[in-house]
Amino acid sequence: MFISAFTIPTCTYAQKKDQNVHSEPHQIPHLNKQGKTYQLIDDDKPFLILGGELGNSSFTSLEYMAPVWPKLRTMHLNTILAPVYWELIEPAEGKFDFELLDQLVKEARNNDLKIVFIWFGSWKNSMSSHAPSWVKKNQARFPRIKDDKGISHEILTPFSENNLQADMKAYQELLRHIKITDGNDHTVIMIQTENEIGMLPTARDFSSPANERFRENVPAELIQYLERNKETLVPEFSEIWGKTGFKNSGTWEEIFGTGLQTDEIFMAWYFSKYTNSVAGAGKAIYPLPMYVNAALNRPLVKPGSYPSGGPLPHLMDIWKAGGTSIDFLSPDFYSPDLKHWCDLYTRQGNPLFIPEHRFDSTVAAKAAYSIGHYESIGFSPFSVESSGNPENEPLGKMYKILGQMTPIITAHQGQHKIEGVLLDKQNQETVLKMGNYEFTVRHSYTLGYEKDSGKDTWNMTGAIFVQTGDDEFYIAGSGIVVTFRNLVNPSLNVGILKDEEGRFENYNEWKVIRYMNGDQTHQGRHIRIFSDDYSIQRFELYNYD
Ligand code: DGJ
């Protein structure tokens, strides 16, 4: 049975496909703000990236990728994040070779996958490993950074116009090629410019041009940005600047004090300006959304021991000031505290996209949580093709339902109608406000029925909630049990009027699979999805004395 449970303001997917036969070509993928939320618009519809980043060397041959494509489909990915090596597309200066890339893009398109390209240009995890040999072997023309002992490392310095021009030209050629070959298909939807930028092994570059710049006054462009945004600067940065009384002219050390924090701020500015020039040059040709990603720092580790000056939360203001062509800053997660870092990355209206997360047992839950709670553009575990058992990957099961939920999620973004939960043994319960209701969401193991409930560690579970009417909601996810309270009139009891398990077909048609009642709702007391189940339910609440 089909029920049209919600309507999307524009038209259905089927109608849209039909219209496209005669209509204008779709707009280039772009970001659009709906309420407080940035959406990625692809082929004129909001798109959620249910992604996976490929291992660094996988996307370099058709042969290697051949057995990977079926795995990606089985796991219900809609997007891959895949590197473009500068050394492979420009093997000799000015001679570009896109043959391999074209074949790989064609394969992605045949497999119904979108691509976010990762530009391994000047920097890949701080290093310049992917620069072509004609760059690597000509250090006089393409200079490197030096550490505090005067030793150079395989890292191109951001203080060289030659380095910048070479990177910019290659990036522009890449964007030109994408525009020509993919400008109608839009298989490529976004670009990450460089990868995990940051200075190692010292907090700043000590090469001569870097030292010269360090002795100069802080550029007026940065000071003006900081003064304009003084009230909304991130507190970690404001505290540093405040120590010199928000001084607005002088050298880096006069304005930000002497120490590693200033070395890092200095690097952040020049890294952001360089990357911004690369992104801007690319956008001038083909303005896809562009972002940068960061290797997250750890507490008590000093800049230089982690990549100093990268697009980290405490340097957000510097990157925003220098990176006007960069659409957002993104965190890569190889440390566990997702909530902490996402809270930091969503300040100042920065759209959240998680381009990398260790491919561990938590990713399915975190995909739902990041899209639900932070209304993120998408989620993408790293080395996703390494799965040995794609049919049973929790990520695939979660992506399957999130894919079905995408129209309903995106239609309700930016309006306080979406939430997400992330639960484990340490965080067994979350309380949400959804319209006039309070939802108490508990880990399903709290019921004690499931076989692993007694274990010391619990599977991380997660779910997303969408409010579609005053009393109507959808939930998609795994391992949760929900009870309700009326917030407006707490003396009223809240009952479950209807609960259906189902799926979306043909874009937005709700098909009921089971009418849930009896044991499945504890005779009307709660909504529940066990932890080995990944499913969608539509439910309606009502109130009684
Ligand atoms: C973060 C990087 O951005 C990736 O390219 C990859 O190197 C992973 N670390 C882990 O290996």
**How confident is the model over 289-295, as a mean pLDDT?**
98
Is residue 3 over pLDDT 50?
Answer: no
Is residue 528 over pLDDT 80?
Answer: yes
Per-residue b/e over 47-71, b at no fewer than 16 CB within 10 Å? Answer: bbbbbbbbbbebbbeeeebeebbeb
Distance CA(472)–CA(11), nearest Å, equals 21
How much distance in Å is there from the Cα of 125 to the middle of ligand 1? Answer: 7
Ligand 1 binding site (Cβ under 6 Å of any ligand atom): 56, 125, 195-196, 332, 356, 382
Dihedral of alpha carbons 42, 47, 51, 56, sign? positive
pTM: 0.95
pLDDT for position 23? 60
Instruction: Write the CB contacts of 499 (distance below 8 Å, at least 6 apart in sequence).
Output: 515, 516, 517, 520, 521, 527, 537, 538, 539, 540
pLDDT for position 61? 97
pLDDT for position 346? 98
Is residue 106 over pLDDT 70?
Answer: yes
How much distance in Å is there from the Cα of 272 to the middle of ligand 1? Answer: 20
Choose one of 382, 384, 386 to mutate for the ligand 1 pocket test, by most ligand atoms within 8 angstroms of C-beta: 382
User: Nearest-CA neighbor of 375 among 5, 72, 35?
Assistant: 35
Is residue 26 over pLDDT 70?
Answer: yes
Distance CA(243)–CA(226), nearest Å, equals 15
pLDDT for position 488? 95
Distance CA(28)–CA(235), nearest Å, equals 36
Choose one of 53, 54, 56, 200 to mutate for the ligand 1 pocket test, by most ligand atoms within 8 angstroms of C-beta: 56
How much distance in Å is there from the Cα of 215 to the middle of ligand 1? Answer: 34
Task: Evaluate whether 426 touches 339 at the Cβ level (below 8 Å).
Answer: no
pLDDT for position 5? 47
pLDDT for position 202? 98
pLDDT grade for 299, boundaries at 50, 70 and 90 = confident
Mean pLDDT of the chain: 95
Tokens of 319: 């990157």
User: Nearest-CA neighbor of 47 among 115, 119, 118, 102?
Assistant: 115
Residue with the nearest Cα to atom 8 of ligand 1? 382
Task: Evaluate whether 53 touches 383 at the Cβ level (below 8 Å).
Answer: yes
Closest ligand 1 atom to 293 CA: 3
Closest ligand 1 atom to 83 CA: 5
Residue with the nearest Cα to atom 5 of ligand 1? 56
User: Nearest-CA neighbor of 258 among 268, 246, 244, 247?
Assistant: 244
Choose one of 58, 59, 125 to mutate for the ligand 1 pocket test, by most ligand atoms within 8 angstroms of C-beta: 125
Q: Tokens 């939920």 sit at which residue? A: 405
How much distance in Å is there from the Cα of 186 to the middle of ligand 1? Answer: 26
Radius of gyration of the chain (CA): 25
Bridge partners, residue 501, by sequence = 514, 537
**How confident is the model over 226-243, as a mean pLDDT?**
98
Instruction: Write the CB contacts of 427 (distance below 8 Å, at least 6 apart in sequence).
Output: none
Choose one of 195, 293, 296, 357 to mutate for the ligand 1 pocket test, by most ligand atoms within 8 angstroms of C-beta: 195
pLDDT for position 335? 80
User: Nearest-CA neighbor of 416 among 437, 397, 396?
Assistant: 437
Rounded to 5 degrees, φ, ψ at 453 are -60, -30
Closest ligand 1 atom to 56 CA: 5
Distance CA(476)–CA(400), nearest Å, equals 10
